[in-house]
Structure 1
């Protein structure tokens, strides 16, 4: 009888540990929010989908990723995928294009925020 009670207590303990809500730590972002682009942790931005340098140069732009540092951007679209990743489309607050070629870029929100590529 003691074995059944002990097994039941352990089973309920395991079930309650897995019932924690992990999504409560995420920050909600909405259309119209202003975000600042921060410094990447590496040479290139990993979670902000800027076009590659050769595409920027072909379109007559200047491929200087440091120029995007500190730009304020406005959220234009928020999309949550099936696997829980939030994709955010942004455009510059002043209305100009990124690198004189691209008007909007896509950001993997949670990963970019964790890597300090964006600031709220």
Structure 2
């Protein structure tokens, strides 16, 4: 009786239409373009901009005014074990961010949710 019940449960689980929610609508690939939006008080959480002292050490100019409305494209995409999508972005104008950094890492889902990046 136990074997029958166990096999019935296993077969129901195996043949059921059980689906896991996936982020099919949030697919990111290399070459997708976005625009950096202005955030209140320059509080960027999803875009991992370097700290001011690292920008200045590398000879750059630290000012968020230089990056607002700047078009960026995805250089590479990496999906972590917890499901977050981390992308490396670069400017489409082939310049550097703050005249010091060529690439910046971004948590894409969080950036779109918070309005830090806008899809073009």
SS state at 1:55 partner: helix
Partner of 2:105: 106
Partner of 1:23: 22
Is contact 1:37–1:72 with CA below 8 Å preserved after alignment? yes
What are the within-5 Å matches in structure 2 for residues 41-80 of structure 1?
A: 41-80=40-79
Unaligned runs of 5+ in 2: 1-15
Q: Deviations over 1:64-84 (max 9, x none)?
A: 012111010111101110100
Unaligned runs of 5+ in 1: 1-15
Number of residue pairs the alignment of both structures matches = 104
Superposition CA RMSD, Å: 1.9
Give every structure 1 segment of 4 or more consecutive aligned residues whose post-TM-superposition deviation is greater than 4 Å. none
Q: TM-score, normalised by structure 2?
A: 0.78
Partner of 1:11: none
